[in-house]
Amino acid sequence: MKFAVIVFPGSNCDVDMFHAIKDALGEEVEYVWHSADNLDEYDGILLPGGFSYGDYLRCGAIARFSNVMAEVVKAAEAGKPVLGVCNGFQILLEAGLLPGAMRRNDGLKFICRNVELQVANNETMFTTSYEANETITVPIAHGEGNYYCDEATLAELKENKQIVFTYAGTNPNGSLEDIAGITNKQGNVLGMMPHPERAVDELLGSTDGLKIFQSIVKNWRETHVVTA
């Protein structure tokens, strides 16, 4: 399986994402600059964390208009797995690929630490390697991770089982209903604030994030004929 790590001006987790795929997962991966106009050769699309375009205006608001985003939308509509982490999640929200919005953390401070997550839905292409309601440890690093949506959208997220990860125990940022990650209705676009790419090796303190990437590959291979 071949992944694209989209790099925007200001991305700072692209290297983490690249090495999670290359070294921990053992799959093919390439950096793709934000000006790219074709993603057809890639099977999975990854939008990393950071501060795209300095996070001016709103987080992800400028990156949403980058040339490559038309191709990200195209890939999502074609059913390819698209994962946005932290700033990548914010970009997916701004692009309308996921519902809702991000607000400043309740405490108005940047938070960087490990948190416990509950796997609220282990039936998506990103989570089948987890047990139902499994508790995992993954780090966060954000100042605007307070997820919000209106009541109608929240009801829809619940009805369609689009809430994939929730904060277990203490909610670090005030996110509505403890939401840490959601998918689109089709289930092939996942946005999450915690950083699974920083939890793929024991040296990093946890391997709990690796199962997200393993799930993607497993489910992709089950629906594609792979020839040597």
Q: Is 112 a catalytic residue?
A: no
Instruction: Collapse the DSSP code of 173 into the 3-class scheme (helix H, G, I; strand E, B; otherwise coil) and give the result.
Output: coil
**Cα separation of 181 and 167, whole Å?**
9
Q: Is 116 a catalytic residue?
A: no
pLDDT at 224 > cutoff 90: no
Look at residue 84 in the predicted model and tell me its pLDDT. 98
- The pTM for the full model equals 0.96
Residue with tokens 């391997």: 207
Work out the pLDDT band at 225, boundaries 50, 70, 90.
low
| Residue of 27, 71, 144, 197 marked active site | 197
Instruction: Report which of 86, 84, 85 is spatially closest to residue 110, judged by C-alpha positions.
Output: 86
Look at residue 29 in the predicted model and tell me its pLDDT. 98
**Cα separation of 138 and 207, whole Å?**
8
**Cα separation of 113 and 139, whole Å?**
5
C-alpha distances in angstroms, 154 versus 40, 85, 150, 176, 224? 33, 20, 6, 9, 33
Q: Is 28 a catalytic residue?
A: no
Tally the C-alpha atoms within 13 A of residue 104's C-alpha that lie toward its C-beta.
5
Least confident of 24-33, 55-64, 103-112: 55-64
Exposure pattern of 104-140 as b/e (b: 16+ CB <10 Å)? bbeeeeebeeebbbbbbbbebbbbebbeeebebbbbb
List the domains of the chain with CATH numbers: 2-222 (3.40.50.880)
| Residue of 86, 94, 142, 149 marked active site | 86
pLDDT at 227 > cutoff 60: no
